[in-house]
Structure 1
Amino acid sequence: MSRPSSPEGRATSSSPAADQVSAGNALWADIRALLPNTKKDLKLDFSEKVEESVISLLQQAGDLLYGAGSLCSGGTRETCLQVSEIIIDYSWEKLNIGTWRDVDKDWRRVYSYGCLFKVLCMCSEQGTIADTIRVCDMGLLMGASILDNILVRIINVLQKHLTYGKRSAEEDTKESHRKKIRNDHTTVPSIKSEEVIPRLHCPSLEHFRENYMIPQKPVILEGIVDHWPCMKKWSLDYLRQIAGFRTVPVEVGSRYTDEEWSQKLMIVNDFIDQYIVNKNSIGYLAQHQLFDQVIGRKYIRLYSPQESENLYPHETQILHTTSQVDVEDPDLVKFPKFERAAFQACILTPGQVLFIPVKYWHYVRSLDVSFSVSFWWS
């Protein structure tokens, strides 16, 4: 179909600003279609633990959303944004008083509604989509599910409207420099034949269960995840594209016992830029584990539960499943029995799956930029 022409016969085209407005209108239309038809369907009903003043603010935000005025108008949007931020700030305080298990679910729902109303204001004013996704993620991480998981559905819409620009040459240079630094400092340990973890190609479930799971023997399984799409798709660029603007909880530090170890909420892009974390402490879990290697290589050591005394677990209840020993640079004066602790080892490569039996101590160190997927079961 040809473009309409101007009176002078020249083809007309919309300006970048007009295109932006059009894209913003399309986004708002897609988001608005996810909302309940009426304010009553918002289900703003809460227990007596939520103060009347807070419920009044929620009702006010609902009125602004479903009232005669358009949320796209400046005054209505600004008022709704202010109300939603008050709801978020107040409920945030409730979420952070005392222990998490004691937080009433209604306050988590209040927080999610505050995030929802703020997101709607941001979408209606054509705000930055990345910032809007972050607000949704905060509602998902700290709040409770509302309106059939509407925040998840909004993120799905936002991601479709998100444009992914290519990294600049400067960013590519920085990434290459970071990789070189990591590779220059990576040593690949040698593994003695008596320490090698056995390998098994595509065993039947019965064979695996009878020969490895029940007797609790570690084994590397090969050929069982070759069909996974991630084995061909995953890369740093791919993860940036599908989740680069998502907010996730991240453990920062090389091991749980370090003083600088911490947990924080980060955007995936920032995590990739700032950290490639090697969690190289040694500990165990009270569940069976399948450790699936997807990208890069990892050096792994396994110690059986019978070696626990030689591994010097921390005496505190919180860290009693973590060893005090630096596995690859042990202080044998302080931990003399560690020298006689027997272990099995492997260098796990993409496509391999390591079965770690329950209560087996495991030490993991990345040899490359590395991603793994773990499954636990009792």
Structure 2
Amino acid sequence: MKLNLEQIPRVRTITKEEFINTYYKPQKPVVIERLIEDWPAYAKWNLDYIKEIAGDKTVPLFDDRPISSKYKFNEPHTSMKMSEYVDLLKSKPTNYRIFLYHLLRESPKLQQDYWPPEIGLKLIKAMPYLFFGGEGSKVFMHYDIDLANILHFQFNGEKQVILFPPSETKYLYKIPHAVIAHQEIDFVNPDFEKWPALEYAKGFTTTLGHGETLYMPEGYWHQMTYITPGFSMSIRSVPKNIGNFMQGAYNLFLMRYLDNFVRKVVGQKWIEYKNEKAIARTNKRNGFSGV
């Protein structure tokens, strides 16, 4: 059995009014296929170009190991020169990813290749993040800590995306005091006997190609799998819902620091407690006993 997923709607182009009324206000995802064809980045950005422009930069890398007491959330597992990393991506599958990286700040020339699209969102122009991944690498299921609206631009290759709206959180085995689902879940090939609540979750999926833009509404869960080596960029807009804005502020300025403090004091037992709690709460809420 597979997850209950429908295809994310697609449009070739869109006006501000259409985007705001059809997707932003009702908080629905959409793929816009030709939004950035006028960017220099559309023609120029590939792995070879990144290597040419930023090959000397030392970049932080993450792999798919479960979160533990050894590493803080978003703490990299290793690092290497961007030139070495690009060579690795092109040579073989790898689990190493670049996550939430300000490459455009370190390589200002790249800033000339894009501009925030005029789509009706008040975008935070100073916060474009880049993400890189090798063939087969996966980003764990999570939602962004600030609950922002996100425009996600794909470059150099294909990526499978799975989304769930916030309404489906009750089925996703959310970890307490965190913004992730239980990391043992394989959302591409889920085991419904082990994770029975997942069968009731209703979400969306698509495959993003070079130059395509995904709009992810605020608080949407997302999991991504790199079909081929590639990279993407995200630009954010603050939540329109005041409740989400307040929750995002709490997550950013209190929750994550409290969680890191308890993890430091209690160690791996805190991680294990939260994982067990996620299973127990989700199954109890949905009428399942045990796992």
Q: 1:215 aligns with which of 10, 16, 26?
A: 26
Secondary structure of the residue that 1:280 maps to in structure 2?
strand
1:107-157 superposed Cα distances (whole Å, 9 cap, x missing partner): xxxxxxxxxxxxxxxxxxxxxxxxxxxxxxxxxxxxxxxxxxxxxxxxxxx
1:283 aligned onto 2:121: no
Residue-pair matches, total:
184
Q: 2:165 aligns with which of 304, 307, 310?
A: 304
Secondary structure of the residue that 1:195 maps to in structure 2?
strand
| Residues 70-149 of structure 1 mapped to structure 2, 5 A cutoff | none
Residue 369 of structure 1: aligned partner: 229
1:323 aligned onto 2:181: yes
Equivalent-residue separation in structure 2 for 1:227 and 1:191 (angstroms): 36
Secondary structure of the residue that 1:346 maps to in structure 2?
strand
Equivalent-residue separation in structure 1 for 2:61 and 2:12 (angstroms): 34
Q: 1:241 aligns with which of 36, 41, 52?
A: 52
Equivalent-residue separation in structure 1 for 2:138 and 2:51 (angstroms): 22
Q: Which runs of 5+ in 2 are unaligned?
A: 89-95, 97-132, 239-291
Secondary structure of the residue that 1:281 maps to in structure 2?
strand
Q: 2:155 aligns with which of 281, 291, 294?
A: 294
Equivalent-residue separation in structure 2 for 1:321 and 1:255 (angstroms): 17
Equivalent-residue separation in structure 2 for 1:266 and 1:256 (angstroms): 21
- CA shift at 1:232, angstroms? 1.4
1:268 aligned onto 2:126: no
Q: Is the 1:255–1:279 contact (alpha carbons within 8 Å) kept by the matching residues of 2? A: no
Identity %: 31
- Structure having the higher helix fraction is 1
- CA shift at 1:259, angstroms? 8.6
Secondary structure of the residue that 1:343 maps to in structure 2?
strand
Q: Which runs of 5+ in 1 are unaligned?
A: 1-189
| Residues 56-75 of structure 1 mapped to structure 2, 5 A cutoff | none
- CA shift at 1:305, angstroms? 0.7
Secondary structure of the residue that 1:271 maps to in structure 2?
helix
The 1:305/1:373 distance shift into structure 2, 3 A limit, reads same
Runs ≥4 in structure 1, deviation > 6 angstroms?
Answer: 258-261
What is the aligned-residue RMSD (CA, Å)? 2.4
1:313 aligned onto 2:123: no
Q: Is the 2:3–2:190 contact (alpha carbons within 8 Å) kept by the matching residues of 1? A: no
1:355 aligned onto 2:166: no
Equivalent-residue separation in structure 1 for 2:87 and 2:200 (angstroms): 40
- CA shift at 1:364, angstroms? 0.4
- CA shift at 1:374, angstroms? 0.7
Please tell me the residue identity of whatever aligns with 1:281.
Answer: F
- How high is the TM-score relative to the length of structure 1? 0.45
Q: Is the 2:153–2:234 contact (alpha carbons within 8 Å) kept by the matching residues of 1? A: yes
1:252 aligned onto 2:111: no
1:305-325 superposed Cα distances (whole Å, 9 cap, x missing partner): 11101000112x2xx210112
Q: Is the 1:256–1:281 contact (alpha carbons within 8 Å) kept by the matching residues of 2? A: no
- How high is the TM-score relative to the length of structure 2? 0.58
- Structure having the higher strand fraction is 2
1:246-292 superposed Cα distances (whole Å, 9 cap, x missing partner): 123x2320266379985144321122234444242101121111111
Query: Bigger radius of gyration, 1 or 2?
Result: 1
